[in-house]
Structure 1
Amino acid sequence: MSFEYLGLSDELLKAVRDAGYDTPTPIQRQAIPAILQGRDVIGIAQTGTGKTAGFTLPMIDILSQGRAKARMPRTLILEPTRELAAQVAESFEKYGKHSKLSMALLIGGVSFGDQEAKLERGVDVLIATPGRLLDHATRGNVMLNGVQVLVVDECDRMLDMGFIPDVESICQKIPQAHQTLFFSATLSKEIKRLTDKFLNDPKLIEVAPPASTAATVSQSIAIVGAREKSKALRELIASDDIDSAIVFCNRKVEVKSVYTSLKRAGLAVGQLHGDMAQPDRMDTLARFKSGDVRILVASDVAARGLDIPSVSHVFNYDVPRNSEDYVHRIGRTGRAGRKGCSVTLAMPSDTKAVLEIEALIGRPIDRQPLKEVKTRELESDEETPKKSGGRPARKPRGKAAQAKTQSTNSEEKSNATAKEDASSESATIEPQAKAAPQKPSRSRSKPKETEKSEDKKAKDRSADDRKARANTSTGNRRSNNGNGRHHHEDDSPVVGMGSHVPAFLMRPVPKRG
């Protein structure tokens, strides 16, 4: 089937041919006629299936009749990230070049004044991220009561990024008489709840199972130590003929670290993460698409849904946190029937994550050998720490725990001192008893010296006992802070005299005549 059978206008068909496309993708074949008929649509499709053109093409035809009013856009497209919003804007420019549609892009990192000026002139197509759109709506720069078609793209990513409350708020500002299109890679319960709330008898289009991966993409995994990952990545890049590649990291700090490592190795590399200014992000994407940058190091959020058809390789520097993200990541390569290559760097402790990915895609992932880096094996289930037990005990944290530890240590020291003093004291008292038969002069002088020495020891021990009791009391008070959370955890015995009796209490009391 060709695009001519989908009901598009001649001007639009010409733009499609100019872009080099002849045959619609499965989601385009199903979505375009339904949208032209005015139906609500739920499109479940992976990145790279042509879903963006699946809604931009019919929207251009729908908007060919009519005219926009000031601050009242006729259509609204919500995207989770700036890059995706800019990508959709490029699609409208490419396919709408033979029409006279006006368009505005509301994203962060761009002047409010320029965006406000476009809105004031009136736009047919408004493409925005939820946060920036609500900012303009609060300022009175845009009114949504004239929206005829609403598109919520990448719904699952909206959910992941916490934008669902904003999306609901925006949907409630739009009049009921409008067409709504939801597109997502997966259909979770939360997204189903939204579609039930805001869509009217929608047509469900699901072109591929969300867990499937393209058959044209070869997948492998290299298991290495944490300190060997950078070296392993450089070996993988050097060992293959790479036209363009995306390296995915789980955190921004790793994006920066890997970018620096590859740049020092002399590679044409760029980075993409949330800390970058919008002009820098757009410039990096443009250089990557043009080929000036051959390797792009990116986080999941920054690269989600990017339409870069010529990516030959995908490297997962980290095993994705969610197994579904693995499918989204490797979906950047092997598009439109092209061959692609995906290699994941895993550590031996990543057993659970790797097994979940293999269960999701329905087959084991081949192991990738390396020459310069020693590869390892995944830990067995028995070696992998379990949630219940198996984890070594952690050291106490916080002031309360430290106080409790100090109290316990003080008590142990006090008891140990008490035992030592008791043994030494019994040794002292025993000779005292044997010294009784000696001459009166010597027996009087020696007990006096002994008494002084014993009194001094007793005072020292009493001071130690008072200090131990003070430490214990302080530890108890500290551990009882925080609404009594540790009240039952600190039932240490009260430290008294310990296991000894001071010498002065052992002296016989003289009888009074």
Structure 2
Amino acid sequence: MKFSDLDLDPKVLQAIEEAGYETPTPIQQKAIPEALKGRDVLGIAQTGTGKTAAFTLPMISILAQGRARARMPRSLVLCPTRELAAQVAENFEIYGKYHKLSMALLIGGVSFKDQDRLIDRGVDVLIATPGRLLDHFERGKLMLTGVQIMVVDEADRMLDMGFIPDIERIFSLTPFTRQTLFFSATMPPEITRLTEQFLHAPVRVEVARQSTTGENIEQRVCELTPSRKDRADSEKRAALRALMRAEGEALKNAIIFCNRKRDVSVLHKSLLKHGFNAGALHGDLDQSVRMRVLNGFRDGEIQILVASDVAARGLDIPSVSHVFNFDVPIHSEDYVHRIGRTGRAGRKGVAVTLCLPHEQKHLDKIEELVKATIPRVPSPLAAPAPAPEGEAPEAEARPRRRGRRKSAAEAAAEAAPAPPPAAERAPEPDAAPKAAAPEAPAPDAPSPRPARARRGEGKRAEPSAQQDEAPAPRARPERRRGGQVVGLGDHVPAFLLQPINVDELIAASARDEDPEEEEADAPSPAEGGPSGEGAAV
């Protein structure tokens, strides 16, 4: 089947041909004829199957006749994110370039005045996010009583983002006679209730089993076990970089999804630091920045796009080669949409998910949803093979220096070869002189140890034979400069330059050794000492 067999407007067929499309996708083959008949359509298909064109093409053909009035749009398209709304607007520009249909895009981050100016002129196609649409309505700048066709795109994403109450209110503001085109990749119970409430005898178009992934996508899971809990994030980023480098030239461009906006910023800075051409996209960025990054990724100026789930819907870039889930999505349905950014338009794609131990429960739910076991790949951070004998590992070969720096003498002593053990040491010749044993100190000689060290000697046990042999004191390394001992130089203390009377020192030493002689030399009280009788005058 070709597009010419779908009874579309000739000008639409011409635009489709110029865009390079010839054969409609299964969802387009079934949804477009029913939409042209004016019936409500409930389309269920996995992401990347052409749902946007499935409602864009029949809308342009239907709206080719008629004229819009001020502040009363003829059709309304609701999208969950700004990026998806901009994507739908681009589709209308491509396929409706030969029609004089007016269009307005109501999204956040854009001035109200510019949007009010478009609405005041009257628009045939109004594309909006629910929040900004209700803002215009509450300001009295918009009326929805003239809506003929209403489209809800990515309804399950609306549910995840909490837009269901807004959707119900918008439905109540539109005419009961409207035609509703409802598209979603999955059908949770809440979405089913919404379709039963607001759709009238819809034609259910389901081209694939709910929550299935594309057959062109090669899925992998890399399970990581961090060495320590506080290193989990850094090791996870290192594993991601290793996996990306391992893809080589096959990685033309890639989208990396994170669960949190903070992780998007951290990972983006890390990739830039390691030389990757990367850009960041999340909801806290200004709309102009988001569009600039998105356009740079489409044009090939940015190779790696780090994004939150805001980019999981609406990115129609057929040439995305890889998708990396840096975090396992908490909601299982988000996995289907994330990996659906690759493998589009019949191309092959690769989706790799990094999984930490605490994320295993989310991965189990995903495999239960898709009804398949995702193949595992080894972690690039696995422990290296043990080094062969005789080769020290790198960590031991280059020890980390801690504490004080070693002196030159200590370094030289460590570098010298160790002496052989006593058992293997060669016997000394008889002619070699033996070192004289040190003489034992005299019994009356004072011990060379300080007084504090001699306390409690009587309470200690007798030393053993090994303790009697005191080890030789370690030689203090001399500080040399140019091979000579460094002395005081000209800075000699003054007390060292005082003359010394050797005779007085000898006499004083003798008196200290024989105190009785000193007492004998002293005059007694009877001889006229200060305390004797001769002291009285």
Write the distance in 1 (CA, Å) between the matches of 2:370 and 2:76. Answer: 35
Write the distance in 2 (CA, Å) between the matches of 1:58 and 1:321. Answer: 36
Counting only pairs closer than 5 Å after superposition, residues 272-291 of structure 1 correspond to structure 2 as 272-291=281-300
Write the distance in 2 (CA, Å) between the matches of 1:214 and 1:19. Answer: 24
Aligned: 1:331 with 2:333:
no
Alignment match, 1:262: 271
Q: Judging changes above 3 Å, is the alpha-carbon distance between structure 1 residues 141 and 220 closer, same or farther for their aligned structure 2 residues?
A: same
* CA root-mean-square deviation: 1.3
Match for 2:240: what amino acid?
A: L
* C-alpha contact (below 8 Å) 1:271/1:296 kept by paired residues: yes
Alignment match, 2:73: 73
Write the distance in 1 (CA, Å) between the matches of 2:70 and 2:281. Answer: 35
Counting only pairs closer than 5 Å after superposition, residues 382-461 of structure 1 correspond to structure 2 as none
User: 1:358, CA displacement in angstroms?
Assistant: 2.1
Alignment match, 1:365: 374
Write the distance in 2 (CA, Å) between the matches of 1:30 and 1:155. Answer: 19
* C-alpha contact (below 8 Å) 2:258/2:326 kept by paired residues: yes
User: 1:330, CA displacement in angstroms?
Assistant: 0.9
Alignment match, 1:160: 160
User: 1:45, CA displacement in angstroms?
Assistant: 1.4
Match for 1:83: what amino acid?
A: E
Aligned: 1:117 with 2:126:
no
* C-alpha contact (below 8 Å) 1:44/1:186 kept by paired residues: yes
* C-alpha contact (below 8 Å) 2:243/2:380 kept by paired residues: no
* C-alpha contact (below 8 Å) 1:47/1:305 kept by paired residues: no
* C-alpha contact (below 8 Å) 1:231/1:373 kept by paired residues: no
Alignment match, 1:471: none
Q: Secondary structure at the match of 1:69?
A: coil
Residue 248 of structure 1 is aligned with which of 257, 263, 287?
257
User: 1:43, CA displacement in angstroms?
Assistant: 0.7
* C-alpha contact (below 8 Å) 2:106/2:115 kept by paired residues: yes
Write the distance in 2 (CA, Å) between the matches of 1:171 and 1:348. Answer: 44
Query: Unpaired segments of 5 or more residues in structure 2?
Result: 227-231, 385-537
* C-alpha contact (below 8 Å) 1:103/1:124 kept by paired residues: yes
User: 1:374, CA displacement in angstroms?
Assistant: 4.4
Q: Secondary structure at the match of 1:239?
A: helix
Aligned: 1:198 with 2:198:
yes
Alignment match, 2:92: 92
Write the distance in 1 (CA, Å) between the matches of 2:357 and 2:189. Answer: 34
Match for 2:189: what amino acid?
A: K
Alignment match, 1:25: 25
Match for 1:346: what amino acid?
A: C
Residue 321 of structure 2 is aligned with which of 302, 312, 319?
312
Write the distance in 2 (CA, Å) between the matches of 1:295 and 1:122. Answer: 40
Farther off after superposition, 353-362 or 88-97:
353-362
Match for 1:156: what amino acid?
A: D
User: 1:254, CA displacement in angstroms?
Assistant: 0.6
User: 1:21, CA displacement in angstroms?
Assistant: 0.4
User: 1:303, CA displacement in angstroms?
Assistant: 3.0
Write the distance in 1 (CA, Å) between the matches of 2:156 and 2:348. Answer: 27
User: 1:353, CA displacement in angstroms?
Assistant: 2.1
Write the distance in 1 (CA, Å) between the matches of 2:103 and 2:331. Answer: 36
Match for 1:21: what amino acid?
A: Y
Q: Deviations over 1:442-464 (max 9, x none)?
A: xxxxxxxxxxxxxxxxxxxxxxx
Residue 303 of structure 2 is aligned with which of 294, 297, 307?
294
Q: Deviations over 1:82-104 (max 9, x none)?
A: 11110000000000001110000
Alignment match, 2:364: 355
Write the distance in 2 (CA, Å) between the matches of 1:323 and 1:199. Answer: 27
Q: Secondary structure at the match of 1:146?
A: coil
Write the distance in 1 (CA, Å) between the matches of 2:23 and 2:383. Answer: 47
Match for 1:165: what amino acid?
A: P
Q: Deviations over 1:280-313 (max 9, x none)?
A: 0001100000000011011113432321211100
Match for 1:230: what amino acid?
A: R
Match for 1:236: what amino acid?
A: L
User: 1:350, CA displacement in angstroms?
Assistant: 2.7
Counting only pairs closer than 5 Å after superposition, residues 460-471 of structure 1 correspond to structure 2 as none
User: 1:349, CA displacement in angstroms?
Assistant: 3.0
Q: Deviations over 1:407-454 (max 9, x none)?
A: xxxxxxxxxxxxxxxxxxxxxxxxxxxxxxxxxxxxxxxxxxxxxxxx
Alignment match, 2:240: 233
Write the distance in 1 (CA, Å) between the matches of 2:208 and 2:372. Answer: 17
User: 1:372, CA displacement in angstroms?
Assistant: 4.8
Alignment match, 2:354: 345
Alignment match, 2:312: 303
Alignment match, 1:405: none
Match for 1:233: what amino acid?
A: L
Write the distance in 2 (CA, Å) between the matches of 1:374 and 1:16. Answer: 54
Write the distance in 2 (CA, Å) between the matches of 1:360 and 1:199. Answer: 27
* C-alpha contact (below 8 Å) 2:46/2:211 kept by paired residues: no
User: 1:54, CA displacement in angstroms?
Assistant: 0.3
Larger helix proportion of the pair: 1
Write the distance in 2 (CA, Å) between the matches of 1:140 and 1:353. Answer: 45
Write the distance in 2 (CA, Å) between the matches of 1:211 and 1:297. Answer: 24
Q: Secondary structure at the match of 1:335?
A: coil
* C-alpha contact (below 8 Å) 1:228/1:373 kept by paired residues: no
User: 1:371, CA displacement in angstroms?
Assistant: 4.2
Higher gyration radius (CA):
2
Write the distance in 1 (CA, Å) between the matches of 2:375 and 2:53. Answer: 34
Q: Secondary structure at the match of 1:337?
A: coil
Write the distance in 1 (CA, Å) between the matches of 2:118 and 2:156. Answer: 30
Match for 1:79: what amino acid?
A: C
Alignment match, 2:6: 6
Q: How many residues align?
A: 375
* C-alpha contact (below 8 Å) 2:41/2:180 kept by paired residues: yes
User: 1:77, CA displacement in angstroms?
Assistant: 0.4
Alignment match, 1:492: none
* C-alpha contact (below 8 Å) 1:274/1:302 kept by paired residues: no
Write the distance in 1 (CA, Å) between the matches of 2:314 and 2:330. Answer: 18
* C-alpha contact (below 8 Å) 1:39/1:203 kept by paired residues: yes
Match for 2:81: what amino acid?
A: T
Write the distance in 2 (CA, Å) between the matches of 1:208 and 1:373. Answer: 38
Counting only pairs closer than 5 Å after superposition, residues 131-170 of structure 1 correspond to structure 2 as 131-170=131-170
* C-alpha contact (below 8 Å) 2:77/2:151 kept by paired residues: yes
Alignment match, 1:188: 188
Q: Secondary structure at the match of 1:343?
A: strand
Write the distance in 1 (CA, Å) between the matches of 2:76 and 2:217. Answer: 35
Q: Deviations over 1:208-255 (max 9, x none)?
A: 112211121111111112241100111111111211100010111111
Q: Deviations over 1:42-84 (max 9, x none)?
A: 1111211100000000000001000000111000001111111
Write the distance in 2 (CA, Å) between the matches of 1:352 and 1:372. Answer: 22
